[in-house]
Amino acid sequence: MNFKNLFITALRALNRNKMRSALTSIGIIIGVSSVIMMIGIGNSARIAVREKIFTYGANAMSVYDSKKPLTLRDVENIDRLLPQVRYISPFVYKSYVLTKGGGQFIYSRLYGVNNDFFKIKSWPLTNGRYFTEREIAASEKVVIIGNSVRTELFGYTNPVGEVLNVDGLPFKIVGLLTEMGQALSGRDFDNVLIVPHTTAAMKIMGKRTFDEIYVSTYSETEIDETVEQLKEYFRRTHVILPGKMNDFKIKTSKEKLQMVKYISNTLSILLAGIASISLFVGGVGIMNIMLVSVSERTREIGIRMAIGAKRRDILTQFLIESVTLSGAGGIVGMLLGLGVYYLIIFFVDWPFIFSFFSIIVAFFFSCAVGIFFGYYPARKAADLKPIEALRYE
Amino acid sequence: MVNNLIEISDLYKIYPISEEISVHALQGVSLSIKRGEFVSIMGASGSGKSTFMNILGFLDTPTTGRYVLDGIDGSTLNYDEKAEIRNRKIGFVFQGFNLLSRTSAIENVELPLLYMGGITTREMQDKARKYLGMIGLAGREHHHPSELSGGEQQRVAIARALVNEPAIIFADEPTGNLDTKNTEDIMNLFTSLNQDLGITIILVTHEPEVAEYTKRKVIFRDGHIIEDSPVKKRKKAGMKKR
């Protein structure tokens, strides 16, 4: 019997029990659609978080949590000693600063930096300009504001040139940062005031030391080496004996990326694992129905054998039935999964990533489930003896 | 090599029930049947006639003994080769019709061709249509068994037995589920198949009237053939047109 005829025979059999066939496929539909959905959401989350981390700055690292103060001397030394350092900026911050302007007020985070900071973070301006050398040297009261500060205080007008009262002091707005959006933690990246580090240190914090030093290299490959050299530098200047712990910390964008990658991979595996369980349950459902079907159709099998069906013909017919159930379930599940995935992505505004690979894998996997769970019932059917099957009531 | 279509010698079939007890369904049966014969096999239930038919139809295997069908020794065949013989050389007609339910008449008739291979869908349909026409069911190709009378269902089953152009038809109590009128019709049909097409037919029955239609009567008792004789007063096929 050729394959086409077997296929037609199998389709007719499934067609005779439409409702049962559809219900049997639901297990696979749910399994495959959740696999597709989970993988999709995992991919999108990874990209979304990755983009956020790049706002932290590509090839960037920072020295922080230092027990000994970080100074302008450190900044100058590092800049001189490490030629691969492209940008370097001091960093001081105050997390809760009362900001008044346009008759409104808001509490914002305040960063004190130099112009390199914008390069390290890849934070472009929408309006205005960066600081001038003179403004930094003279600790002038100029500020570049984030988009949330603008919208809260000035609405959608251009704020450049306006005066802003920061912590009781009048600052002139010279620039407006391009909107960055929220972090996954819900923190608003745009509620930020950026002033020259000299101004922050002298006029607001009243100190000459820095909280962190930001550094970025020309290329990603130089990150590890730079981290090592920074450690060496600070161990030397902080006079830490060999074998003693560092009294400072260094974080890199690479570490963050790796962490996010690790978390999202773990999540993906976990979710795909859960989805596979439903695929497995779907497979057991198919096996169950196929067993029922075989015993219901014992007489039919007997008739087919009596008039010349070989064992292989019976085996193939029932395998095709189970694979058709699981394969059709796989296709429907794929479409459903993509649909739900697209819907979710649409609402949380993450990028839609069409993974052709995961779709192919999910489809073949569902067919494989059909073969795996369909084999035992099909084998049972093929092993029936013609006379016994014919006598079966 | 003689002209015998079926050659049986010393056939035994023993069903072991337990270590001590076994049922001897056939105890040394020998029989030969020529091409073109129309044989009825009779006997009470338990006489071994059904076992005998199953063995003849390659549905069951004898414990010992030799069975040759059309020059092919049954003992040399494996499972799939037997399936192939059933498919190409044998047509079955059963008491309970054994049609696939919820499957149209024409699809039921096509079934043996489906397993034959090397035949197009078009050819299958043409053949099935031809035999349905021959047994008088033209125009009812797409009826399901449940929409047909018992007599009509048995005709479909006969068309299915004919469609592979077999050397022999085995009919196991083909009229057992039919009334007198339909029995007559079916037997007339068998008679004309035997006479006009020259198909060898072996028919199991316990009704003497049915056996009257055949040319030769073989009677079983307790696993032995106790009588094997030509039918003298043959009923003639009715003159009805079909």
Complex prediction ipTM: 0.92
pLDDT of residue A15: 87
Statement: residue B131 has pLDDT above 80: yes
pLDDT at residue number A143: 95
In order of their start, the domains of chain B are 36-61+78-230 (3.40.50.300)
B51 → chain A, closest CA residue:
A387
* pLDDT > 70: percent of chain B: 96
Confidence of residue B239 (pLDDT cuts 50, 70, 90): very low
CB B25 within 8 A of CB B223: yes
Q: Does the CB of A11 have a partner CB in chain B at under 8 Å?
A: no
8 Å CB contact of A308 and B94: no
Q: Taking CB atoms and an 8 Å cutoff, what residues of chain A touch B112?
A: 307-308
Mean predicted confidence (pLDDT) in B168-190: 92
What pLDDT shows up at residue A221?
83
List all residues 6 or more positions away from A270 whose beta carbon is below 8 Å from its beta carbon. none
Scanning the structure block, which residue is given the tokens 């090397």? Answer: B118
- Distance of alpha carbon A354 from the chain centroid: 14
Nearest CB among B107, B112, B121 relative to A308 is that of B112
Q: Closest by alpha carbon to B172, among A390, A314, A300?
A: A390
A274 touches chain B (CB under 8 A): no
Quote the CA–CA distance of B143 and B153 in Å, as a whole number: 10
Chain B interface includes A311 (CB < 8 A): yes
Q: Is a pLDDT exceeding 80 seen at residue B240?
A: no
Question: In the 8-state DSSP scheme, what is residue B92?
Answer: E
Scanning B94-113 for CB atoms below 8 A from A yields 94, 98-100, 102-103, 107, 111-112
Count CB pairs under 8 A between chains A and B: 63
All residues at 6 or more sequence positions from B105 whose CB lies less than 8 Å from its CB, including other chains: B132, B137, B140, B141, B142, B143, B144, B145, B148, B156, B159
- B6 φ, ψ (degrees, to nearest 5): -125, 130
The letter for the amino acid at A295 is S
- Report the residue of chain B nearest A309, measured CA to CA: B115
* DSSP structural state of residue B74: G
Query: Which residues on B lie below 8 Å from A12 (Cβ)?
Result: 103, 107
Q: Closest residue of A to B85, CA-based?
A: A308
Kindly give the pairing relationship between strand A192-196 and strand A104-113: parallel
Q: Which of A12, A306, A313 lies closest to B59 in CB terms?
A: A306
pLDDT at A380 (0 to 100): 95
Cβ separation B164–A308 shorter than 8 A? yes
Residue B133 has pLDDT above 70, yes or no: yes
Are the Cβ atoms of B111 and A311 closer than 8 angstroms? no
Give yes or no for B80 touching A (CB within 8 A).
yes
Interchain CB contact of B57 with A (< 8 Å): yes
Token couple for B225: 């053939």
Tell me whether residues B111 and A304 touch, CB distance under 8 A: yes
The rounded distance, in Å, linking the Cα atoms of B42 and B171 is: 12
- Kindly compute the dihedral angle of the four CA atoms of residues B137, B143, B145, B146, in this order, to the nearest 10 degrees: -130
Smallest Cα distance from A348 to chain B, Å: 51
Return the residue in A1, A297, A307, A385 with the most chain B beta carbons within 10 A, the one to mutate for interface testing: A307
Which residues of chain B lie closer than 8 angstroms to A5, CB-CB?
114, 121
Give me the residues paired with residue B27 across strands.
B12
Taking every pair of C-alpha atoms in chain B, what is the biggest distance, in angstroms? 57
Q: Is A14 on the interface with B (CB under 8 A)?
A: no
DSSP summary character for residue A201: I
Candidates B4, B7, B2, B169; CA nearest to B73 is B7
pLDDT exceeds 50 at position B242: no
Side-chain half-sphere exposure of A167, counting CA atoms within 13 A: 17
Q: Band of the pLDDT at B238, cuts 50, 70, 90?
A: low
Query: From the list A299, A311, A386, which residue is nearest B59 (CB)?
Result: A386
Choose among A305, A309, A387: nearest Cβ to B54: A387
Q: What is the pLDDT of residue A237?
A: 92
Please report the pLDDT score of residue B154 as a whole number.
Answer: 93
Chain A residues with CB-CB distance to B88 below 8 A = 308
List average pLDDT for each run of 10 residues in chain A, which is 393 residues long.
78 87 90 86 78 67 90 92 92 90 90 92 89 92 93 90 91 90 67 93 87 89 89 92 89 77 80 83 92 93 93 93 93 93 86 83 89 95 92 80
> Using CB atoms, which residue from A1, A305, A306 is nearest to B117?
A1
Provide the greatest CA pair distance for chain A.
Answer: 104
Let me know: does A211 contact A64? Beta carbons within 8 Å.
yes
Whether the CB of B59 is below 8 Å from some CB of chain A: the reply is: yes
Sign of the dihedral defined by the CA atoms of residues A165, A166, A167, A168, in that order: negative
Contact B103 A12 (CB under 8 A): yes
Number of C-beta neighbours around residue B71 at 10 A: 9
Q: Which chain B residues are within 8 Å of A302, Cβ to Cβ?
A: 98
- The SS3 call for residue A213 is strand
Do the Cβ atoms of A6 and B97 come closer than 8 Å?
Answer: no
User: Whole-angstrom Cα distance, residue B152 to residue B175?
Assistant: 12
C-alpha distances in Å from residue A8, one per residue of A82, B107, B128, B140: 74, 11, 17, 22
- Please list every residue in chain A whose beta carbon sits closer than 8 Å to the beta carbon of residue B111: 303-304, 307
Residue A48's identity, in one-letter code, is A
Interval B96-116: pLDDT, tens: 899 998 889 999 999 999 888
A311–B79 C-beta distance less than 8 A:
yes
